């Protein structure tokens, strides 16, 4: 396999573009450059330049997988909507395919992360996995039979937008629902609830933060909770309870063997994960719960690159090889 052309993974984030050769769960020859966001053409040129830089080290690739923080019509390879980087409406697969002359595959970064997580469990790779990414919003990815599940047109697996509290708060994201997972278990929801709560409690720690800044941020709540502040702990108790409600639903529906919690908020998991798991355990169908392992994301900073590369490898039919190689010798981070 050493002489075979590599598969490249590309992770286009809001601040940096990362490119690496991907084999199993291993990334090598990593190149990272800032993401140009001033215009679509600058962005496309920036992605191209970063990929070409990687190619000088790896040689021409067999295929390129690209993860972007955007909603993708996977069948067409186009970007439906993109809030953080200027890609809305761009036929990204074809644009990049023209530039490199090799097969390019483009997917949502949460889908790529889920694929990386499936590779990062104990051997063999997980065939059925659900991943929730808790950040400003709530994203997710679902792996079924070892492949990313996308729905009929690649717009599915919107795991942040299942309602779990029918008359709950309006979703703070670009979604008309009420009480959906993102409306209750996102960074934005946490800040909304903390701010509302602090307004009525002027002489408390969160009240003081509100008095100074007119708002309470996620990091404010995390820091207060870590210091044992009761108001902040109660906010996380509620957060964990709702997360557990959502986990129970997704376990019952997808019956995964692996359930992964990722995203920026998972760094504060000590404040809510135990509560979430207890809630999910009390609610999920027992036969399904006993078959699932819930854990934090294992992928590091290069999980997005790895997932994008795995996607491309699967699409060109290299994943059987890859799984075999991974199982025997390498690929565990």
Residue 207, C-beta contacts closer than 8 angstroms, at least 6 positions apart: 198, 199, 200, 201
- Smaller CB separation from a copy of itself, 58 or 82: 82
- Smaller CB separation from a copy of itself, 100 or 149: 149
Give dist(CA 81, CA 85) in Å, integer. Answer: 10
Taking alpha carbons only, the member of 8, 150, 19, 16 closest to residue 65 is 8
Could you tell me the smallest distance in angstroms from the CB atom of residue 60 to a copy of itself?
32
Taking alpha carbons only, the member of 146, 179, 150 closest to residue 162 is 179
Residue-by-residue DSSP string for 28-45 = EEEEEEEPP-S-HHHHHH
- Identify the bridge partners of residue 108 per DSSP, sorted by sequence position: 68
Could you tell me the smallest distance in angstroms from the CB atom of residue 160 to a copy of itself?
8
- Smaller CB separation from a copy of itself, 22 or 294: 294
Could you tell me the smallest distance in angstroms from the CB atom of residue 135 to a copy of itself?
18
Taking each helix axis from N to C end, the angle separating 92-100 and 40-58, rounded to the nearest 10 degrees, works out to 40
- Smaller CB separation from a copy of itself, 51 or 245: 245
Could you tell me the smallest distance in angstroms from the CB atom of residue 237 to a copy of itself?
13
Could you tell me the smallest distance in angstroms from the CB atom of residue 154 to a copy of itself?
8
Could you tell me the smallest distance in angstroms from the CB atom of residue 198 to a copy of itself?
23
Q: Please report, in angstroms and rounded to a whole number, the separation of the first and last CA atoms in the chain.
A: 20
- Smaller CB separation from a copy of itself, 39 or 282: 282
CA distances from 327 to 77, 123, 322 (A): 31, 6, 8
- Smaller CB separation from a copy of itself, 91 or 249: 249
- Which residues lie near a copy of itself (CB under 8 A)? 71, 80-81, 127-128, 144, 149-159, 161-166, 175-178, 180, 241-242, 245, 248-250, 252-257, 282-288, 291
Could you tell me the smallest distance in angstroms from the CB atom of residue 246 to a copy of itself?
8
CA distances from 232 to 21, 71, 174, 329 (A): 43, 33, 27, 46
- Smaller CB separation from a copy of itself, 50 or 323: 323
- Identify the bridge partners of residue 79 per DSSP, sorted by sequence position: 72
The token duo for 313 is 């490898």
């Amino acid at each position: 396999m050493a002489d075979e052309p590599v598969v490249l993974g590309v992770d286009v984030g809001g601040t940096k573009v990362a490119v690496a050769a991907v084999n199993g769960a291993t990334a090598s020859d990593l190149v990272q450059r800032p993401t140009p966001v001033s215009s679509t053409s600058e962005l496309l040129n920036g992605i191209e330049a970063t990929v070409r830089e990687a190619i000088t080290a790896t040689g021409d690739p067999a295929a390129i997988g690209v993860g972007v923080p955007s909603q993708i019509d996977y069948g067409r390879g186009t970007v439906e909507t993109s809030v953080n980087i200027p890609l809305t409406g761009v036929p990204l697969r074809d644009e990049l395919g023209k530039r490199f002359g090799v097969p390019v595959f483009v997917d949502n970064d949460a889908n790529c992360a889920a694929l990386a997580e499936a590779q990062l469990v104990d051997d063999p790779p997980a065939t059925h996995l659900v991943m929730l990414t808790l950040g400003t919003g709530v994203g997710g990815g679902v792996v079924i039979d070892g492949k990313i599940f996308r729905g009929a047109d690649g717009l599915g697996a919107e795991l942040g937008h299942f309602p779990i509290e029918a008359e709950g708060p309006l979703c703070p994201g670009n979604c008309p629902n009420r009480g959906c997972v993102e409306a209750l278990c996102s960074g934005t929801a946490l800040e909304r609830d903390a701010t509302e709560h602090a307004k009525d409690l002027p002489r408390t720690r969160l009240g003081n933060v509100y008095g100074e800044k007119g708002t309470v941020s996620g990091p404010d709540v995390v820091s207060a909770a870590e210091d044992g502040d009761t108001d902040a702990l109660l906010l996380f108790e509620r957060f964990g309870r709702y997360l557990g409600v959502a986990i129970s639903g997704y376990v019952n529906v997808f019956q995964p063997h692996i359930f992964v919690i990722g995203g920026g908020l998972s760094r504060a998991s000590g404040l809510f994960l135990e509560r979430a798991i207890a809630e999910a355990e009390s609610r999920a169908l027992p036969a399904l719960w006993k078959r699932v392992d819930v854990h934090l994301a294992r992928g590091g900073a290069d999980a997005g690159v790895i997932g994008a590369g795995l996607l491309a490898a699967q699409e060109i039919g290299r994943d059987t090889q890859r799984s075999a190689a991974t199982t025997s010798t390498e690929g565990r981070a």
